Amino acid sequence: MGSCVSTSSRSTCSSGSNGETVSPSCFCGQKRTRRTFSDHVVSLQHLPSIPNRIFMNGKSRTSCIFTQQGRKGINQDAMVVWEDFMSEDAIFCGIFDGHGPHGHLVARKVRDVLPIKLLSFLHSYQSRSNGSNTTCFKGNLKRSDGGDSEKDCSAEDKLNSIWREAFLKSYKAMDKELRSHPNLDCFCSGSTAVTIVKQGSSLFMGYIGDSRAIMGSRDSNDSMMAIQLTVDLKPDLPREAERIKRCKGRVFALQDEPEVPRVWLPFDDAPGLAMARAFGDFCLKEYGVISIPEFSHRLLTDRDQFIVLASDGVWDVLSNEEVVEIVSTAPTRSSAARILVDSAAREWKLKYPTSKMDDCAVVCLFLDGKMDAESDYDEQNFSSATLQSNHSGNAIESDDGQKSEPSLQRNFTVRSSEENDAYGRLPVEVEGNEETIAAEDQNWLGLEGVTRVNSLVQLPRFSEERPNPEIL
């Protein structure tokens, strides 16, 4: 356990890592009444020109996204929103936080390829099920109060099973492709992933690493509250630590950062990965770090307002409640992601003035499907050129990550010895995990953002002279 995983089956729609294609459909076993772009074959070459798919700062019909480079060098965060993902009511959202020498390339590769692999496995299932009575992929499941409750429960379980399998297989295939990629060295580089698909009233989630998703919802008093949708998969979570140690990996924190548990090789004090699951990082895949995602399904209600996905650069300095407050009070919806990143940047400066601020990436998905008028772009400093680049294929990302993603215009000051640890603690509401999350995990430190310098401490040294940091 903990070694690199590979696909057990391959979709008939796949044609290789550089030309993988899939022909998505409604997955309902019924003829569609309207034709959308998602009826066409999707390939990696076509991604930049797909309508309703954005991956740089801007907004879509239902969401806004924003990323800002920190002070560590290349912006290694990536993000995507893909509307009309497989049908007209389906939306894919993802945040990917890279780490290591080639982390920015890994994050972008996962951003582009993982959604296609998910589509491929869903389409493969639909192809096998043609002509038979199968569970509809439409997400408008509602529990009835009558005698059909048992049938509804059975249909929901079947739907969960299909989506769980699709997420597990797509993550597995993604990691396999990274391992065999001829031009991308993922031995000591990797990426987190938090991915969701909203279809109708259903929300399906798969995630690895320490990026997080939360939801802003209204309570019985009509006040906004934060609901954490994912668990930060840190190495000190009991079940994660147990697996890593069983695979001969080591978990401990350095003396100068006792709040940051890391994963280490059994024979070297490297690389010090600050998460228990990730794409890539193949130097640790034989020692307990895995790319198997946690999966959960949630039925949305009218009280649920929006979902926020963000990298740990946000969660390190802002609590779930603070994020919900910032997004819900933003002057316009199209500005919510940018304002949240700006707030995180200010908090980094106040709480950890000498730490190098981490990259921040945010996706805000509004569940009622409404956004601001187009005129709001001018107010939010989103240029028309940037917006066009998300849909016309003119956007170009350079390897150094500097071209399209803004940098902080701030200077460093002295780090304060006092750390604000007044983060709110919320219960995690998760349904349908393949491996039931233990109660102690839900209240563990992994649910809270903790400040760290880097996701990796150093690359492995295959020599006799090795550093020997003090172990707590």
pLDDT digits (tens, 9 = 90+) for 126-173: 777 765 555 455 555 444 455 566 666 787 888 899 999 999 999 999
Confidence class for position 472, pLDDT limits 50, 70, 90: very low
The predicted-structure confidence for 259-269, as pLDDT tens digits, reads as follows 999 999 999 99
- What's residue 119's pLDDT? 92
Please count the other Cβ atoms lying within 10 Å of the Cβ belonging to residue 381.
11
| The pLDDT of residue 172 | 97
- The pLDDT, as a whole number, for residue 173 is 97
Q: What is the pLDDT at residue 359? A: 96
| 117-124 mean pLDDT | 91
- pLDDT value of position 45: 74
Which residues does residue 64 pair with via DSSP β-bridges, in sequence order? 59, 364
Of residues 174 and 19, which shows the higher confidence score? 174
Q: Residue 15: its pLDDT value, please? A: 40
Tell me which of 10-19, 296-305, 330-339, 449-458 is least confident: 10-19
Residues 407, 69: Cα–Cα separation, whole Å: 5
Peptide linkage before 271 cis (omega within 30 of 0): yes
> Using alpha carbons only, what angle is made at residue 221 by residues 216 and 223, rounded to the nearest 5 degrees?
35
Helix (H, G, I), strand (E, B) or coil at 204: strand
- Six-digit token pair at 236? 């000190």
CA 52 to chain centre: 19
Q: How much is the average pLDDT of 439-467? A: 50
% of the chain residues with pLDDT over 90: 56
Closest to 176 measured CA to CA, from 13, 291, 43: 291
Predicted TM-score of the model (pTM)? 0.76
Mean pLDDT of the chain: 77
Average pLDDT on 340-357 reads 94
Question: Of 228, 248, 235, whose CA–CA distance to 209 is shortest?
Answer: 235
Contacts of 440 (CB under 8 A, 6+ apart): 238
CA atoms within 13 A on the CB side of 30: 9
Rounded mean pLDDT, 46-55:
85
Among 8-22, 207-221, 304-318, 454-468, the least confident range: 8-22
Q: Are 263 and 250 in contact (CB under 8 A)?
A: yes
Average pLDDT over residues 318-324: 98
> Quick one: which of 343, 289, 334 has its CA closest to 313?
343
Contact between residue 170 and residue 118 where contact means Cβ atoms under 8 Å apart: yes
Q: Which residues have a Cβ under 8 Å from the Cβ of 457 and sit 6 or more positions away?
A: 254, 262, 269, 270, 271, 272
Residue 21, pLDDT > 70, answer no
Rounded to whole angstroms, the Cα distance separating 467 from 449 reads 28
Closest alpha carbon to 458 in 112, 142, 99:
99
Residue range 353-405, pLDDT digits in tens: 888 899 999 999 999 988 876 444 444 454 333 443 344 344 456 555 444 44
Nearest to 17 by CA among 105, 109, 104, 107: 109
Helix (H, G, I), strand (E, B), or coil: what is residue 417? coil
Task: Compute the CA torsion angle 83, 203, 432, 278 (nearest 10 deg).
Answer: 40
pLDDT for 162-213, tens place per residue?
999 999 999 999 999 999 999 999 999 999 999 999 999 999 999 999 999 9
DSSP 3-state assignment of 116? helix
CB-based contacts of 407, cutoff 8 Å, min separation 6: 68, 69
Q: Give the pLDDT of residue 355.
A: 86
pLDDT greater at residue 388 or residue 315: 315
pLDDT score recorded for residue 239: 97
Cβ–Cβ under 8 Å, residues 2 and 247: yes
